Chains A and B, each alone.
Chain A
Amino acid sequence: MTAQGSYAWTPGYFYDWESTEIFTGRFPYEDSYTLDRYLETGGYEGLKRALEIGPEAMSGEVKDSTLLGRGGAGFPAGVKWGFTPQGVWPRYLVVNGDESEPGTYKDRLLMERDPHQLIEGCLIACYAAGLSQCFLYVRGEMALAHERIAGALDEAYAAGYVGTDILGTDFSVDIILHWGAGAYVVGEETALIESLEGERGMPRLKPPYFPAAIGLYGQPTIVNNVETLANLPYIAANGSAAYTAIGTETSPGTRMIAVSGHVKRPGVYEIVNGSTTFRDLIYGDDFAQGIRDDNDLKAFVPGGGSAPWFLPDQLDIPFEGKEASAAGSMLGSGAVMVMDSTTDIPEAALTLVRFYAHESCGKCVPCREGGTWLLRIVERICSGHGTTADLDQILEVGQSICPGDMPHASSERLGLEAVPFPYKMTTICFVGPSAYAPIHSALTLFRDEFEAKVSPSPKRVRIPVAVA
């Protein structure tokens, strides 16, 4: 057991090919979260260059870098900024630090280990897109992140990096640390805005409530994920060309991936985007180093709890959005959860169904009711009281959340072709489909394990109806 603050990982635990360490390079330092260490290691140089080249050139750099949002949807950040309507002021920046996707934990590390980098990223975004106030919404359950960011903001204000007349220019912006209070759905950008306005964190309907047009207090609002913003200091300091030189054309740069579950060396790794494959990540010496006890791999979750599962058949797929979609899943928030041959698949799926059923905000009926139904059915199956009719019932309930073909991976063993991502959905946000996707994958790819747990359904008895 390791207490919070002193970390289990040591220098070298992260992928240490220097040229690819864009934003986790400071993590190994004991004092990585202090202003002194930040300045010593090139800190606030990106902000200085942004102030030199001006806001228009800076937003051009971000657009040219094709930096993809790291919150889960993978939308280009520069394009998102461009959606703000012309001439409407004020505009706000809301930083999504409400990381709670099962398996994911990159934003927490970035906030705890390098808060100044995030602050610099926020400043660059505000400067480039003309955003006059920044709200840093941090998940309530991350006490250490709150402490580290509060300390870093105090340092940054005192040193003239945040607040009025930043570094002697006319650029002035406040960054406000805001506390969440425990709700997964608040990670959805419109729910985040509702929560920041002091309301219940329920998502808004899009259209019309696209945050870039009608966001916080009805004003144009940019909502960016912590990891997305943490990339900006590098892009600002080194230029977009240096950034796009890493990774592939469609997925430039690096990204952080948490590999957890049954692997020898679970950890959070900064990988080269687009070219690194799941096999590299799960079996590579620089990364997770293979399955524990040298067991066989049974299945893995490629992109956070919401993602349809992959099988060993999909190990050679790279971290590239389109390839993952074609194979029937998504890269999501950068979390790989590995299950070895000893895993009880229905039980594993149950933990995810329970999560999403618990976290449904209750706004959309298919998610509120469907999630609970799915949970009851899977619990019944796992406790040995299920029948074969329950298996079909899962798919039927799923159809009311995600009508039509549901994405899943291909399987040589089962002779199954892949159904590509994404799915259709009857809910406003992704919580509903996320309750169904894992159980759908588990049931489609491992139906035999479910069948082993259920008993045959009782035969339907036809009751004769008396006719007068």
Chain B
Amino acid sequence: MSRLTDSNVLLAHEIIRRYPRSKSALIPLLHLSQEQNGYVTNDAMRHIAELLDITPAEVIGTATFYEMFKFEPVGTYVINVCQTLSCALMGADELMHHAEDVLGVKAGSTTADGMFTLEPAECQAACTEAPCLQVNYRHQYRVTTAEFDELVDGLRSGRLADEIPPHGTLGRNRQNLPADRTVGAVPPEDVTEAPDWIPVAGDAS
């Protein structure tokens, strides 16, 4: 069940073709499986290993390095509250304590209804809009405690469903490479000459 679906396998092959070496597609495929299941399942990792012709150990080896990949179910909405300097200076601690009170869970855990996972996070690149948080990696700026309550209400009631897709969906769109305009990836060992637009005698550098 948690292997990639047929349509995602087609997409996976399309993604693999973008890279000169197939293993480069590993992180994008892990994202794809997380989009499908909400987290990265063992079956999905085995399936990705088959698709890339590498071992499952190599897949889990890479996957566990990266914080965004979850290996057990998380809430539909993962709320990351930034804790680094600029946000800390502007009240990140209070915001985190408030979030724990409102959701009734400690940072790092998921609510009983499976709606929310609350996590402390490191710098989210919105330092001038502190304190900030992300819901499924979508920023919310200068969040007051009242606004946090409003946000949670909006997510619970489904009012923000269009704006914030469920956990795992990175972008609501993805890059499409048009077949008639794509150069295509070539393994590096198959290229020996300078590209067409570089004058033959000289060297661009």
Interface residues, chain A, with chain B CB atoms under 8 Å away? 1-4, 8, 54-56, 59, 81-84, 86-87, 89-90, 99-105, 107-108, 127-130, 132-133, 139-144, 146-147, 149-151, 153-154, 157-158, 160, 162-164, 169-174, 176-184, 195-201, 217-219, 258-262, 266-268, 301, 305, 335, 337, 339, 343, 347-348, 351-352, 354-355, 358-359, 361
Total A-B pairs, Cβ < 8 A:
262
Q: Contact: A183 with B65, CB < 8 Å?
A: yes
Residues of B within 8 A of A132 (CB): 183, 191, 195
Within B160-204, the residues touching A (CB, 8 Å) are 163, 170-178, 181-186, 188, 191-199, 202-204
Q: A8-B129, A130-B204 are in contact. List 15 more A-B contacts (CB 8 A).
A: A2-B129, A56-B204, A140-B137, A140-B170, A169-B197, A172-B183, A174-B18, A178-B27, A178-B28, A198-B27, A198-B52, A261-B90, A266-B129, A347-B88, A351-B85
B85 touches A197 (CB 8 A): no
Given A102-B85, A144-B139, residue A84 in contact with residue B172 (CB < 8 A): no
Closest 10 A-B residue pairs measured CB to CB?
A: A181-B66, A163-B181, A182-B67, A198-B26, A198-B23, A266-B128, A260-B127, A105-B125, A1-B147, A182-B68
Residues of B contacting A81 in the complex (Cβ-Cβ under 8 angstroms) = 205
User: Can you name the residue of chain B whose Cβ is closest to the Cβ of A218?
Assistant: B188
Q: Is B126 an interface residue (CB 8 A)?
A: yes
Residue of B whose beta carbon sits closest to that of A86: B203
Given A142-B137, A181-B30, A198-B23, A100-B66 contact (CB < 8 Å): no
Given A176-B18, A181-B66: A89 touches B175 (CB 8 Å cut-off): no
Picked from A128, A153, A217, A343, the residue with its CB within 8 Å of the CB of B175 is A153
Tell whether B102 is near chain A: CB-to-CB under 8 Å: no
Minimum distance in angstroms from B8 CB to a CB of chain A: 15
Which residue on B lies nearest to A109, using beta carbons?
Answer: B125
Residues A261 and B85 in contact, CB atoms below 8 Å apart: yes
B204 touches A129 (CB 8 A): yes
- Chain A residues with CB under 8 Å of B84's CB are 102, 305, 351-352, 355
Q: How far is the CB of B150 from chain A (nearest CB, A)?
A: 8
11 A-B pairs whose Cβ atoms sit less than 8 Å apart in the complex? A99-B125, A129-B204, A144-B138, A144-B139, A163-B183, A169-B197, A176-B175, A183-B67, A195-B27, A199-B62, A217-B20
Question: A5's closest neighbor in chain B, by CB?
Answer: B163
Cβ-based interface call for B97 (8 A) = no
Q: Is the CB of B123 within 8 A of A150?
A: no
Q: Say which residue of A147, A164, A173 sits within 8 Å of B172 (CB atoms).
A: A147
Query: What's the nearest-Cβ distance from chain B to residue A213, in Å?
Result: 11
In Å, the complex CA distance between A157 and B147 comes to 40
Q: What residues on A are CB-neighbors of B205 within 8 Å?
A: 59, 81-84, 86, 129-130
Q: A129: which B residues are within 8 A, CB to CB? A: 204-205
Q: Judge whether B171 and A150 touch: CB under 8 Å.
A: yes
Across the interface, name the chain B residue whose C-beta is closest to A147: B171
Cβ distance A225 to chain B, nearest Cβ, rounded Å: 14
Asked if A182 and B66 make an inter-chain contact with CB atoms under 8 angstroms apart, the answer reads yes
The CA-CA distance from A108 to B142 in the complex, in Å, is: 17
Is B94 among interface residues, defined by CB-CB distance under 8 A? no
**Interface set, chain B 57-86, CB cutoff 8 A to A:** 61-62, 65-69, 80, 83-86
Contacts of B52 in A (CB 8 A): 198
Residue in B closest to A9 when the chains form the complex, CB atoms: B128
Residue of B nearest to A196 (CB): B24
From B26, B89, B125, give the contact of A262 (CB < 8 A).
Answer: B89
* B12: interface (CB < 8 Å): no
For B30, list chain A residues within 8 Å (CB): 181
Q: How far is the CA of A102 from the CA of B132 in the complex (A)?
A: 13
Interface residues of B in 28-47 (CB under 8 A from A): 28, 30-31
Smallest CB-CB separation from B172: which chain A residue? A147
What B residues does A182 contact at CB under 8 A?
A: 66-69
A305-B123, A359-B122 given as contacts; is B170 within 8 A of A164 (CB)? Answer: no
Interface centre among B52, B130, B174 (most CB of A within 10 A): B174
Which of A141, A180, A258, A355 sits near B127, CB closer than 8 Å?
A258
**Contact between A184 and B122 (Cβ–Cβ < 8 Å)?**
yes
Q: Is the CB of A157 within 8 A of B170?
A: no
* Contact between A143 and B175, CB atoms less than 8 A apart: no
A195–B27 alpha-carbon span in the complex (Å): 8
Does B144 interact with chain A (Cβ within 8 Å)?
A: yes
